[in-house]
Structure 1
Amino acid sequence: MGDKYNKFSKYFVAVDCVIFGYEDGDLKLLLYHRGFEPAKGMWSLMGGFVGEEESSDTAARRILKNITGLDDIYLEQVQAFTDPKRDMEGRVVSLAYFALIRIDRHKSDSVRENGAHWWSLKSLPNLVFDHKEMVEKALEKLQNKAGLELVGSELLPDKFTLLQLRLLYEAIFQRDLDPGNFRKKILSLNVLQRLCEKNTTESRRGAHYFKFIDGATERSFERIVKI
């Protein structure tokens, strides 16, 4: 390092991953018990330090791979958390990311080996440091994303009903949505393909399954849901 930089303090750079999953109408968060000090035993987001030869994106994907066994995970940076006193062991700048994964697709053995558990977003335990704020900011970013483009391909099965899609949106926005208005809005986007197959558990007549049209979920639209 050049002499020009020697007068500046050196900081640690970390990443923390807000890992969202969806199951049984509930948006969930993957947390683990910290196995080391400070705050050993408290619930924490999945995270770690950025290596010398890594970008923060690469570090976040490495952590997600180690935890879930998955490579193709949707990942988006939330923001930097820079409070000098956020970690009592030293000056740590953390870059928070949110990830969306299918709970039925990740390797549960890898999750268990890391002591991780899925928690409902409605009943989270106390979290270490500023991780609660990270979760709140990540949820806001997910809601903004879901309001402007159709999400679900990372969280729902390959085929789903409009009811299942609405329940996912209600879990993301943490409130009920009008069924008729939601159906009308979603179908007007022309991003779903209706299948011949029906789900017969939702009504006597059955509800058609849909699937996402390839590439259509990333289009920008008039806001789907107002925040």
Structure 2
Amino acid sequence: MIARPHLTVGLAVDLVVLTVRDTRLEVLLIERGVEPFRGRLALPGGFLREGEDLLDAAVRELAEETGIRGIDPCLEQVRTYAAPDRDPRGRIATVAHLAILPDLPAPTAGTDAAGARWEPVRAGSPGLAFDHDTILVDAVEQARRRLENTPLAAQFCRPEFTIAELRAVYEAVWGVALDPRNFHRKVTGLPGFVVPTGEMRSPHTGRPAAVYRRGPATALNPPLQRPA
């Protein structure tokens, strides 16, 4: 049996950083300043350095390319992408990381990024560099599952909020319109998710709405499932 040479593979990290801004789900993108794909939009990321942990590399690359720092406790892995032709520079695998957080600042481009900005997550392929369209789709789906199973959506609301304001976060991330009555019934029936303050808020139009705050729950049981 003839022994085949071991394959040498480069290792990189990519980041999908999501937020809700003006009731839209947005993703942090950079404009590549170097080849390959110079001038194309891409996810922030880059190669591991000698002796560097994956998480450390992800935090460093995000800070270097966008100026955003301090989100490392919220990063979670999506999966590893290692298709043979995913990178024209050679056989390079990347480990994608996800963070979905409120109140993230405007980015500042650095290192090999010619620009950095928030872009709405749209249906269909936005034409990102490498295989970043696929990574973005997978990460958004993971974020949507997070909203099914955890009270994460409440973090995107003010300390005191109405159920309609909470529903707007779910609609932005899930990308679907939700029935207001059904949503209200399900959310207020989940133990520890939201707690009534006893106050009412009068909107510009319509009837006054009850005001809530975040409850103590760290997981939603049963999960708040998306419409089919």
Shift of residue 49 of structure 1? 1.4
Counterpart of 2:45? 47
- Aligned residue identity for 1:85: D
Counterpart of 1:119? 119
Matched length: 216
Counterpart of 2:12? 14
Which runs of no fewer than 5 residues in structure 2 stay unpaired? none
Counterpart of 2:56? 58
1:51-107 C-alpha deviation (Å, 9 max, x unpaired):
2222212222333344313346522211110001100011110011111122x343x
**2:215 aligned to which of 210, 213, 219:** 213
Counterpart of 1:200? 202
- Supply the distance in 1 between the matched residues of 2:95 and 2:171 (Cα, whole angstroms): 28
Shift of residue 213 of structure 1? 2.5
1:121-155 C-alpha deviation (Å, 9 max, x unpaired):
12773200110000111111112222222222443
Secondary structure, aligned partner of 1:89: coil
* Residue 150 (structure 1) aligned with residue 146 (structure 2): no
Shift of residue 8 of structure 1? 2.2
Counterpart of 1:89? 89
TM-score (normalised: structure 2): 0.84
TM-score (normalised: structure 1): 0.84
Aligned-residue identity in percent: 30
Secondary structure, aligned partner of 2:30: strand
Secondary structure, aligned partner of 1:97: strand
* Residue 225 (structure 1) aligned with residue 225 (structure 2): yes
RMSD: 2.4
**Range 43-52 or range 67-76, more displaced:** 67-76
Pair 1:209–1:73, CA change in 2 (3 A): farther
- Aligned residue identity for 1:101: L
Counterpart of 2:99? 99
